[in-house]
Amino acid sequence: MRTLKDAKIGETVTVTGLQGTGALKRRVMDMGITRGTQVYVRKLAPLGDPVEVTVRGYELSLRKQEAEMIEIQ
């Protein structure tokens, strides 16, 4: 299983699922990251945290912990 944390800069991926439960999962879903959504990886910080992505036409920064929850294809 591949997660958003493993995606490379410039890659467009599709979300296949979300791991986790509770408030953190709800927060990720409220940001527009749901199953079937296209995510473009714009930048990675030198140490990999945060990850800057484009989702549904807006830019978003995700912590490594959040990126590990997002399963991609």
Answer whether the bond into residue 46 is a cis peptide, omega within 30°. no
Query: How confident is the model at residue 9, as a pLDDT?
Result: 92
What pTM was computed for the model?
0.85
Q: What residue segments make up the domains of the chain, in order of their start?
A: 2-72
Q: pLDDT tens per residue, the chain (73 residues)?
A: 899 888 899 999 999 999 988 888 898 888 889 999 999 999 988 887 899 999 999 999 999 888 889 999 9
Pair of tokens at residue 4: 């958003």
Q: % helix / strand / coil in the chain, to the nearest 5?
A: 20, 40, 40
Instruction: State which CATH number among 1.10.1760.20, 3.30.565.10, 3.40.50.1820, 2.30.30.90 fits the domain covering 2-72.
Output: 2.30.30.90
Q: How many CB atoms lie within 10 A of CB 24?
A: 15
